[in-house]
Amino acid sequence: MSAAADARIDGPMRRSRNRLSFALVIVLLVALAVFVPAVLYFTELALRELRFMWWLILLLAGAIWLLALPGKKE
């Protein structure tokens, strides 16, 4: 089989696998917030103090972007 045929077959499976992974992460975060009160407390505190922690969110977003950058093909 050619590489193009492999890409056509693997494309939809890869997308569904990515969606499933994203859904599992969301379910895990919600379960942590429900069953571990400290996580919920930290989340509530972080949302209240968001006006002071905007730089931390910006720093995390930049780090995630930089980590994802080398994986992209040109």
Sorted by where each begins, the domain ranges of the chain are: 1-35, 37-74
∠ Cα 68 11 22 (to 5°): 50
Other C-beta atoms closer than 10 Å to the C-beta of 60 total 11
Q: What is the pLDDT of residues 25-37, one digit of tens each?
A: 999 988 988 888 8
C-alpha–C-alpha distance, residues 11 and 21, integer Å: 15
Higher per-residue pLDDT: 72 or 16: 16
Q: What is the pLDDT of residues 12-60, one digit of tens each?
A: 677 788 888 889 999 998 898 888 888 888 878 878 888 777 888 899 8
The pTM assigned to this predicted structure is: 0.44
Higher per-residue pLDDT: 63 or 11: 63
Concatenated DSSP letters of 11-55: HHHHHHHHHHHHHHHHHHHHHHHHH-HHHHHHHHHHHHTTTT-HH
